[in-house]
Amino acid sequence: PPYSVVDQIYHLASPASPPNYMYNPIKTLKTNTIGTLNMLGLAKRVGARLLLASTSEVYGDPEVHPQNEDYWGHVNPIGPRACYDEGKRVAETMCYAYMKQEGVEVRVARIFNTFGPRMHMNDGRVVSNFILQALQGEPLTVYGPGTQTRAFQYVSDLVNGLVALMNSNVSSPVNLGNPEEHTILEFAQLIKKLVGDGSEIQFLSEAQDDPQKRKPDIRKAKLLLGWEPVIPLEEGLNKAIHYFRKELEYQANNQYIPKPKPARMKKGRTRHN
């Protein structure tokens, strides 16, 4: 057609936090497989370009550091995280199958850890866990020794990267993340400091298949998209903490008390027995 109903599809659907996707592995798999096939079918029909929100999890627990886009990954196909890791890996496979066979334009963003306001407070991810625990005066729970590393980007940086990728002519996968790497323990200490409260740090046993290192190589995004994160970690964390604090106050002040529903009259004729 000369013009189409839709030009661009951002396919961002999928549970993303480990407790969330492990709780319902089948739904996670279906979203990433059937859901992705549905979106690619739509893109093919209307001639739209599809951007897949893939993940750094395609690299699994990496044996290469930092991770660049040519690294194939190190994933346990039957581990507790497999529904997400392998779901996203096959979603990438599907994109390139549709590109090769049907000429669908695809963009693949391998997204590394992201945070910011309007996150789900109870999503079970490390930043939200720590902020919530610190604000509520609970101990900050660290799984394992806390030496495992993560790299966090602020949400606005990621959004700019996704838009830049979508509007570029780069069809191969591109890492979008912040190469500034910190240990989980450093995050706990920093959040503790920013919240300004006396929570202690509590060490729990390690989570299975928890990646030990995670750091994006973003040279490709810099070179081809002119993109790199610009929001400093502390600034982003302060914004997230501010949002969580407001959210907790709101919840405390507006406890939802269900009102009894008035009995509804049936529409239509009154029945005579």
Enzyme catalytic residues: 84
The string of DSSP letters for 233-273 reads HHHHHHHHHHHHHHHHHHHHHT---PPPPPPPPPSSPPP--
**Kindly report the CA angle at 127 between 123 and 133, in degrees rounded to 5?**
80
Tell me which amino acid residue 167 is. Answer: N
Task: Using alpha carbons, select from 113, 87, 80, 83 the residue that is nearest to residue 208.
Answer: 80
Which 8-state DSSP code applies to residue 66? S
Q: Is the Cβ–Cβ distance between 247 and 121 less than 8 Å?
A: yes
Instruction: Find residue 53's DSSP bridge partners.
Output: 109
